[in-house]
């Protein structure tokens, strides 16, 4: 992106934010917000952006990215009003951090191991040094935010635990663990205790996440893609029923299955 275009875009957005938050003529709703209240909207914008990316919708991805940056800049302005930091401070901190964590790119020293694993080890080493300097909590799992979506958090936990040497020896052991968790879930279902069922279902999903990780698949992404396929096929079923003058909800399960299979066959054409 051209530097002039980027500068103009950031300045234009900053001008909009300043007008929105202006004491005279600003927006009452925006002015009463805080970084805490705005953070929830930022989470929503992030999910909308990710959804557009995963659906390969370039127009929506561009739109949602802009909304996401706006939300972050708005929060930064709130912090600036508290004399804490501004958007420029946050960006420059990240610039310095990325330069520090990519010594193979920005440092003049030689780095022999440029493999994916070697670069990751360098990244983790530098991160741990930064945490130690700031006196942050240590430990292999300490850097994983508890507020991450559950499947993403499970993947990160397994990845970090594996690097610390705490994981199953091979894929077959994980397969056996998934099977064991499935049987425990069935036992819990037979027992009828909702809390026990919830516990065992969580254990099985957690183990499946590790199985997927070993196959190079992120459970969060795979599940999201499955949801998208289901929604697309379900909407296709509803459209077919409408075309044929049928009341979708009143159809039998067998009739709905036929519509489902018809939609699936059209996907492969």
For residue 198, give the CATH number of its domain. 1.10.287.1080
Domain, as residue range, for 16:
3-101
How distant, in Å, are the alpha carbons of 3, 86, 156 from that of 97? 21, 17, 21
Burial of residue 243 (CB within 10 Å: 0-12, 13-18, 19+) is exposed
Number of domains making up the chain: 3
Calpha distance 234→228 (Å, rounded): 10
Q: Where are the beta strands (DSSP E) in 115-246?
A: none
Domain-embedded: residue 65 = yes
Residues 94 and 182 in one domain: no
First to last CA, the chain: 39
Mean pLDDT over the full length of the chain: 91
For 46-75, write each residue's pLDDT tens digit.
Answer: 999 999 999 999 999 999 999 999 999 999
Residue 121 lies in a domain: no
**Dihedral sign from CA coordinates of 99, 100, 101, 107:** positive
d(CA 94, CA 213): 28
Q: Is residue 140 part of a domain?
A: no
Lowest mean pLDDT among 107-111, 183-187, 235-239: 107-111
For the entire predicted model, the pTM comes to 0.69
Residue 108's pLDDT is 65
Phi, psi of 230 (to 5 degrees): -65, -45
Q: Taking 90 as the threshold, does the pLDDT of residue 183 lie above it?
A: yes
Same domain, 227 and 172: no
The per-residue pLDDT for range 111-129, each reduced to its tens digit, is 666 676 777 677 677 676 7
Q: Is the pLDDT of residue 135 over 70?
A: no
- Distance between CA 245 and CA 267 in Å, rounded? 23
**Neighbour count for residue 143 (Cβ, 10 Å):** 15
Do 54 and 86 lie in one domain? The reply is: yes
Q: Residue 127 falls within a domain, yes or no?
A: no
């Amino acid at each position: 992106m051209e530097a002039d275009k980027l500068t103009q875009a950031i300045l234009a957005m900053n001008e909009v934010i300043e007008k929105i938050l202006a004491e005279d003529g600003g927006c009452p709703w925006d002015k009463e917000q805080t970084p805490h209240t705005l953070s929830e909207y930022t989470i929503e914008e992030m999910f909308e952006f990710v959804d557009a990316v995963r659906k390969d919708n370039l127009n929506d991805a561009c739109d949602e990215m802009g909304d996401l940056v706006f939300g972050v800049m708005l929060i930064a302005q709130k912090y600036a009003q508290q004399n804490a930091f501004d958007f420029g401070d946050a960006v420059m901190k990240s610039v310095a951090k990325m330069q520090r964590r990519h010594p193979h790119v920005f440092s003049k020293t030689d780095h022999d191991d440029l493999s994916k694993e070697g670069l990751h080890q360098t990244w983790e080493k530098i991160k741990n040094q930064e945490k130690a300097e700031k006196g942050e909590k240590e430990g292999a799992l300490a850097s994983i935010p508890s507020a991450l979506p559950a499947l993403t958090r499970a993947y990160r936990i397994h990845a970090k635990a594996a690097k610390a040497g705490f994981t199953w020896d091979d894929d077959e052991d994980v397969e056996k663990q998934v099977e064991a968790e499935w049987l425990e879930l069935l036992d819990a279902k037979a027992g009828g205790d909702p809390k026990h069922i919830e516990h065992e279902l969580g254990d099985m999903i957690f183990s499946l996440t590790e199985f997927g990780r070993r196959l190079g698949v992120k459970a969060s992404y795979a599940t999201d893609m499955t949801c998208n396929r289901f929604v697309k096929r379900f909407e296709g079923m509803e459209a077919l029923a409408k075309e044929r003058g049928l009341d979708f909800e009143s159809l039998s399960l067998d009739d709905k299955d036929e519509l489902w299979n018809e939609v699936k066959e059209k996907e492969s054409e």
